[in-house]
């Protein structure tokens, strides 16, 4: 009997993807899962396992590290400087006071989301934001008597959905990655990004209102989370930097990244933010070298996680089955940008990572799609938005971490992530993609 290795290899891709999801849901780390999944794909493709790991897997791993390590490094250092100086906390508390987000449940949810948006749009990483704002949230939720599980809705809407992939000019990695492959800028397809953001914002606001009405009807109230590792409720800190001074480092990042007459690379732009923090808040750092080093160390886990994901993508791209799958995607009876969005959603969902899934698509599929004449600006925005849709599946590492430190579970809080992030972004894509096809 003659074995058709194209068919077997394609089956192997599906098996390796199922392997990733199952082990991730069982608590295995992606650093372990990704190379093992590459081994599974190699076995089904009749390829030498060691050659697969030292060749395509490590090639994908190192190419991604080479392109993005310094961006991750500068981003985490900037976030640590904003955190240790108290600037991030100062901005958060000022916005809460400005909007009057104390006591009124809807105002609290909206104000808190805006805090997260401002910080992440200003270049502060999501991991820094969660530990900065969570103690404040505990106090706000308690005062307004809001069920604690709604924290997840407000946080993910503010810190991830819009500033991560939609708002033009965002310095977050998901908006920067396409620029390195498509020769675009962080401002790519601004109208499409703003339209998608508006759709997600409207849907989230409606869902917030629905959740609050439901909680009131059922008599749900605030109950303090309990458990090991829960971030404590905030005590008011009086000695914080002036809020206007606190905004300057983030303004530096955005100005140097996006103003046409300047437009520095993201590495330099984040560097200006770090320098501004050092100059403005020098006396607030007990040990500035310690802040610098801790910020640098914080780079390790996110960059290695993503490299592991992309390395797996490189391994898959080397199989015979990938040729079958890519040919199928490219010949689907639909506009190529739609199948590109589908591919990005699939990869982000399977890997449980927006940047990891996007990295696989950018390295393995984008050259084929660009050969079809797709607008780079359209591709940039749709890939970015698509990466931030099904990425937030239950096995997503960020979701697991946030739930843990907030004292929540998938049972009582994940539905808010799915409705407010996954479904809302999917609706936005359904609206934005046809418009993008017409415009571009």
Give CA–CA dist 226/390, Å, rounded. Answer: 29
pLDDT tier at 228, thresholds 50, 70, 90: very low
Give CA–CA dist 409/158, Å, rounded. Answer: 20
Give CA–CA dist 62/308, Å, rounded. Answer: 9
Domain segments of the chain as ranges? 5-439
DSSP element (H, E) containing 366: helix 366-370
Least confident of 19-33, 261-275, 285-299: 19-33
pLDDT attached to residue 313 = 81
- Name the nearest CA neighbour of 192 among 348, 372, 370, 384: 384
Average pLDDT, the chain: 87
* Model confidence at 2: pLDDT above 80: no
* Model confidence at 418: pLDDT above 90: yes
pLDDT attached to residue 213 = 94
Q: What is the DSSP string of 152-201?
A: HHHHHIIIIITTTTTSTT--SHHHHHHHHHH---TTSSHHHHHHHHHHHH
* Model confidence at 230: pLDDT above 60: no
User: Maximum distance among all alpha carbons in the chain?
Assistant: 78
pLDDT in tens, 121-155: 998 888 778 888 888 888 888 888 899 999 999 99
The reported pTM is 0.83
* Model confidence at 5: pLDDT above 90: no
pLDDT attached to residue 231 = 52
* Model confidence at 179: pLDDT above 90: yes
Give CA–CA dist 361/390, Å, rounded. Answer: 14
* Model confidence at 238: pLDDT above 70: no
Give CA–CA dist 112/123, Å, rounded. Answer: 17
The answer to whether 186 touches 171, Cβ cutoff 8 Å, is yes
User: Which 3-state string (H, E, C) describes 46-88?
Assistant: CCCHHHHHHHHHHHHHHHHHHHHHHHHHHHHHHHHHHHHHCHH
End-to-end CA gap in the chain: 50
pLDDT attached to residue 44 = 92
pLDDT in tens, 37-77: 999 999 998 899 999 999 999 998 898 888 888 988 998 89
* Model confidence at 24: pLDDT above 80: no
pLDDT attached to residue 23 = 83
Residue 337, classed as helix, strand or coil, is: helix
Burial of 229 (0-12, 13-18, 19+ CB in 10 A): exposed
pLDDT attached to residue 277 = 93
pLDDT in tens, 387-407: 999 888 877 777 877 887 888
* Model confidence at 1: pLDDT above 70: no
């Amino acid at each position: 009997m003659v074995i058709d290795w194209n068919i077997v290899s394609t089956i192997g891709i599906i098996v390796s993807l199922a392997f990733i999801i199952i082990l991730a849901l069982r608590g295995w780390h992606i650093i372990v899962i990704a190379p093992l999944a590459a081994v599974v794909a190699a076995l089904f493709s009749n390829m030498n396992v060691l050659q697969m790991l030292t060749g395509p897997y490590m090639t994908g791993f190192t190419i991604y590290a080479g392109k993005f390590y310094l961006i991750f490094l500068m981003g985490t250092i900037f976030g640590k400087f904003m955190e240790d100086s108290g600037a991030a906390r100062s901005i958060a508390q000022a916005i809460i006071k400005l909007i009057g987000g104390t006591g009124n449940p809807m105002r609290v949810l909206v104000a808190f989301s805006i805090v997260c948006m401002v910080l992440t749009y200003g270049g502060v990483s999501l991991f820094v934001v969660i530990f900065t704002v969570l103690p404040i949230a505990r106090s706000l939720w308690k005062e307004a008597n809001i069920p604690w599980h709604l924290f997840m809705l407000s946080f993910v809407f503010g810190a991830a959905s819009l500033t991560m992939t939609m708002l033009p000019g965002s310095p977050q990695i998901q908006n920067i990655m396409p620029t390195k492959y498509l020769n675009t800028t962080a401002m790519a397809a601004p109208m499409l990004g703003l339209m998608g953001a508006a759709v997600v914002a409207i849907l989230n606001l409606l869902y917030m209102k629905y959740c609050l009405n439901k909680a009131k009807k059922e008599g749900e109230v605030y109950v303090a989370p309990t458990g090991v590792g829960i971030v404590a409720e905030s005590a008011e800190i009086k000695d914080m930097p002036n809020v206007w001074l606190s905004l300057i480092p983030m303004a530096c990042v955005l100005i140097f990244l996006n103003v046409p007459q300047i437009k520095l690379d993201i590495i330099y732009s984040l560097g200006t933010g770090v320098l501004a923090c050092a100059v403005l808040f020098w006396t607030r750092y007990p040990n500035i070298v310690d802040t610098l080093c801790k910020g640098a160390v914080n780079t390790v886990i996110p960059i290695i996680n993503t490299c592991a994901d992309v390395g797996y993508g490189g391994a898959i791209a080397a199989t015979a089955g990938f040729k079958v799958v890519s040919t199928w995607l490219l010949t689907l009876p639909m506009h190529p940008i739609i199948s590109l969005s589908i591919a990005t959603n699939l990869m982000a969902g399977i890997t449980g990572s927006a940047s990891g899934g996007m990295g696989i698509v950018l390295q393995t599929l984008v050259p084929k799609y660009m050969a079809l004449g797709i607008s780079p600006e359209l591709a940039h925005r749709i890939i970015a938005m698509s990466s931030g849709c099904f990425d937030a599946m239950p096995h997503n590492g960020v979701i697991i971490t946030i739930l843990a430190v907030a004292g929540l579970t998938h049972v009582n809080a994940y539905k808010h992530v799915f409705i407010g992030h996954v479904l809302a972004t999917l609706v936005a894509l359904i609206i934005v993609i046809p418009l993008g096809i017409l415009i571009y």
